[in-house]
Structure 1
Amino acid sequence: MSRRHRLALDRAEPSARSAFIRARKAEVQYSRQLRKVARHIGDLVMGLFDEADPASVGIVERALRRYAPTIEGWANAVGGRMVTEVAARDRKAWMAVAREMGTAVHREIEKAPTGALLRERLKEQVSLITSLPAEAADRVHKLTIEGLSKGTRASEIAAEIRKSGDVSIAKANTIARTEVSRTATAFTEARAKSIGSEGYIWRTAGDSDVRESHRAMAGKYVLWSKPPTLDGMTGHAGQYPNCRCYPEPVIPDA
């Protein structure tokens, strides 16, 4: 830490103009697309479930499981747009840094192994998107089995099954926020390491919604090789569920 060039001044608080502050545009757009799947899940459940017909539970479950593989192509397109947009924003941030540090750094940033990372992140997005109807089917099955084993009233089980669409919408929103942030951190880390960065400064969104454990990390230097464990989970800034924090890379002096 004795010899380094930091992207922001040496202070605990982040710059309002930090190149790596998360933009919400990609998250909002991604969430909007994923909620389309969630709403269709709700439509399937409401259209096929009949509280008076026990057999309808199985019909709902099978319909949801059949739905999952039919959206793989769509998931690939939607996930691809998100990953590509986030990667492009991260590249733009790094190009701004490169203009300050010279052409040598620019060349190193351009050589960062982001192609494989893009494919890896896209694969994860397709898996997560197609998991929405699959998880809804699992939930319907679990509600039915547990309800019967515990003697839960049929009306209570039915009410929970009808909430499937709302549950999926909440899940879709969580996926969007988490995955956009995780993807951004992954690209930032890859490009930072390509120019010799060993770590970063943990930055938060700086508002009252920041969880306590993440607020305690604000302004701290973190090695890329040693992600911290917070609340029982290990990861870098932006890699935790619903995390809005981000890493501000520390770059070695030229």
Structure 2
Amino acid sequence: MNKEKFKPRRVIEKRYQATIKGIVKRMRRKLETASTPTQAFTMLRELARSPTMDAAAQMAATAMATQIMQDGYRTWKEAAAAGSKGNEIYYALVKNLNKTNAFREIIDRNAALIKSVPIDATKALSKAMAEGYEAGMRPEDLKIDILDRFSDLTEARARLIARTETAKAATTLTRVRAQRIGAEWYVWRTSDDARVRSSHEHMEGVLVSWNDPPSPEKLIGMKDYGAYHAGEFPNCRCYAQPLLDYDEVKWPHKVYLNGRITSMTLTNFKKITGGGAI
């Protein structure tokens, strides 16, 4: 199987980022109507906690999760046609993911993150506004400065959320479908370019159990950020390629097991997987 088939499409991340930026841009346009910096700041706090913001965040989060789910559906359909587990994969596909706890959790987490963007911005802007008044800035100049800072802060956060959360959502939904058919292992894949972290480059091609996530940093003696799966680290562009057939990788192969990476023969790998079908 083409190793990039399970790679999330970048267009989904871009759409999600644009949607979040659109929400905060509409918010900025409303703030521009304020007559003073203080009024703008008060409006921002009210808008950040408004029902309109709640609805926009829910809509954006649901759209992203749905797109990831549908994109994964196409990938798994191709896998069903090409592999030996066609019937099992088809069964996993026809069951609605949008009714699972995992799907709901993706939406709830992302809606909360989107709503936190303007709320967190108010904390930084409160300090900036106080410093501006203390420095004797003209109110009209301070208002422009506050709005510009708001744009910079929220756009940076939108990029981080979009990249991190689309990857995490893809990994979560891949895991749900994989485990439905008993595919308990996946191949850790990186974006395979110069920007890949050294700790993640070390994981490229390694077989990982869904039930035993590694700590990539700890494996190479770096600061330990805890255990996680491919695509679950902030700004990570890695993804999980489910192991659907033993012959999808070359043997002996690298396997993460008991806190370390080891080279393992197919015979030994079958022993730890019970010797049955993947």
State the TM bucket, normalised to the shorter chain.
0.7 to 0.9
Correspondent of 2:91 among 107, 110, 114: 107
Q: Are 1:201 and 1:219, in contact at CA under 8 Å, matched by a contact in 2?
A: yes
Query: For residues 235 and 168 of structure 1, what CA distance do their matches in structure 2 show?
Result: 27
Structure 2: which amino acid aligns with 1:115? Answer: K
In the superposition, the TM-score normalised over structure 2's length comes to 0.73
| Shift in Å, 1:233 | 4.3
Q: For residues 228 and 103 of structure 1, do their structure 2 counterparts lie closer, same or farther at Cα, with a shift above 3 Å needed?
A: same
Query: For residues 226 and 187 of structure 2, what CA distance do their matches in structure 1 show?
Result: 19
Q: Are 2:8 and 2:68, in contact at CA under 8 Å, matched by a contact in 1?
A: no
User: 2:44 maps to which residue?
Assistant: 64
| Shift in Å, 1:144 | 5.1
Could you say what secondary structure the match of 2:240 adopts?
strand
Pairing of 1:115-134 with structure 2 (within 5 A): 115-116=99-100, 117-134=102-119
Gaps of 5+ in 2: 218-222, 246-276
Could you say what secondary structure the match of 2:194 adopts?
coil
Could you say what secondary structure the match of 1:235 adopts?
coil
| Shift in Å, 1:65 | 1.8
Correspondent of 1:31 among 17, 29, 32: 17
Q: For residues 46 and 154 of structure 1, do their structure 2 counterparts lie closer, same or farther at Cα, with a shift above 3 Å needed?
A: farther
Could you say what secondary structure the match of 1:201 adopts?
strand
Q: For residues 76 and 114 of structure 1, do their structure 2 counterparts lie closer, same or farther at Cα, with a shift above 3 Å needed?
A: closer
| Shift in Å, 1:89 | 0.9
Query: For residues 221 and 65 of structure 1, what CA distance do their matches in structure 2 show?
Result: 47
Could you say what secondary structure the match of 2:71 adopts?
helix
| Shift in Å, 1:83 | 0.8
Where relative contact order (Cα < 8 A, 6+ residues apart) is larger, the structure is 1
Q: Are 1:201 and 1:249, in contact at CA under 8 Å, matched by a contact in 2?
A: yes
User: 2:254 maps to which residue?
Assistant: none
Q: Are 1:111 and 1:194, in contact at CA under 8 Å, matched by a contact in 2?
A: no
| Shift in Å, 1:75 | 2.0
Matched, 1:169 2:159: no
User: 1:213 maps to which residue?
Assistant: 199
Q: RMSD value over aligned CA atoms?
A: 2.7
| Shift in Å, 1:238 | 0.9
Correspondent of 2:172 among 186, 192, 217: 186
Q: Are 1:112 and 1:194, in contact at CA under 8 Å, matched by a contact in 2?
A: no
| Shift in Å, 1:91 | 1.5
Percent pairwise identity = 29
Matched, 1:250 2:230: no
Correspondent of 1:197 among 175, 183, 186: 183
| Shift in Å, 1:94 | 1.1
Could you say what secondary structure the match of 1:71 adopts?
helix
Query: For residues 19 and 79 of structure 2, what CA distance do their matches in structure 1 show?
Result: 32
Matched, 1:238 2:223: no
Query: For residues 153 and 143 of structure 1, what CA distance do their matches in structure 2 show?
Result: 10
In the superposition, the TM-score normalised over structure 1's length comes to 0.79
Q: Are 1:196 and 1:251, in contact at CA under 8 Å, matched by a contact in 2?
A: no
Q: For residues 154 and 218 of structure 1, do their structure 2 counterparts lie closer, same or farther at Cα, with a shift above 3 Å needed?
A: farther
